[in-house]
Structure 1
Amino acid sequence: MEEPQRRIRAAHSESTITVYQAYSPEIGLPAVREGRFPAAWKRDRMTWIKPSFLWMMYRCGWGTKAGQETVLAVEITRDGFEWALRHACLSSYVHGVHPDRATWQRQLKHAPARVQWDPERDLHLRPLPYRSLQLGLSGEAVRRYADEWTVAIRDVTPLAHETHALVSGGDLDSAARLLPQERPYPLGNGLPAHLRG
């Protein structure tokens, strides 16, 4: 079955969805230990969460990029995730979705979340012809993410390194078996029109 151009794919349960982030060990390790983001974590900046493990691997270089050596799987409530989607604005202007550029700029300025659609990645981190969600959180959404939505934080850096080693060694089947089971995320009426971009 052909993948739609834009779809949210994620590891999810009845009540939670797993998203990925990567931080320096100074942020990542205390977050795992305490199950919440430490005081050093900046609440006043936008934070991007990614439901796609391989897109996160592309972004953090399998946990090797400076400041992104600790890869976190953050389990958050589906209620929180869906609140962010409802209150999100696309990160770029799209003719036909927004009435005009000025309206989009106003929406972007006030929205506590923004959606960006980036090419999904394969095991070699090459772009695929369909896109995956990145969700940027700021202001109220960052506070809710840290204080209300986060259920658990796991360190998946060993998984990143093991998968990368298998890919580098040419054992793609074994690498694929290690990947989190991401499947289409159920949104009642499909993707909201204002996020289709």
Structure 2
Amino acid sequence: MNLSVIKLGGSLMGCPELPLWLDCIESAAKNSNIIIVPGGGKFADSIRTLQKTYHFNDLVAHRMALLAMSQFGYLLTSMNPQINVVSNFHDLSSNLGKQSPLLWMPLSLCDDDSEIESSWDFTSDSIALWLAIKLDAGKLILVKSKSLNNDRSLIINHINNNDIDQGFQKLIDNYSGEISFLLKDQYQFLA
């Protein structure tokens, strides 16, 4: 079966399309392996604000942002109990092929991985790309609140416009799969 990594942006939090995305992902997982990477959304935004107030270092902010991703992840699994949480990277492969989507909580791995910098340059976009590289996923889908061109040669423009994070540029050359940017209302493209 094919493998797709889908990053659900935290900007979907509170959007009426979010349950529709989860339903489409659940349905698509019957014919394809799907791993969801949750964004940080409002949870991560609050960490940025707190860092400006309390001046804690980027390592602390990075760890807190990973927890923010987990918070959104738990929200997603509460909305669709068919999504199975996997916390350990090494358990992902053994959980594939079960015809239900997986949701990866990256905290345990990213604290120790030297390929993921502890900075705001590596947010959930880069973490999803990193996972797609590690698992040799055929597709990486990033669900965003802004329309982005899927042309790979325009990635640097998306980075310069702050539509995707800086870390993406550092990792992109290691990924040979397909990259798609979908809007929050394009959930039907999974069907």
One fold, TM greater than 0.5?
Answer: no
Q: TM-score, normalised by structure 2?
A: 0.26
More helix by share: 2
More strand by share: 1
Higher relative contact order by CA 8 Å / sep ≥ 6: 1 or 2?
A: 1
Report which of the two structures shows the higher radius of gyration computed on alpha carbons. 1
Q: TM-score, normalised by structure 1?
A: 0.25
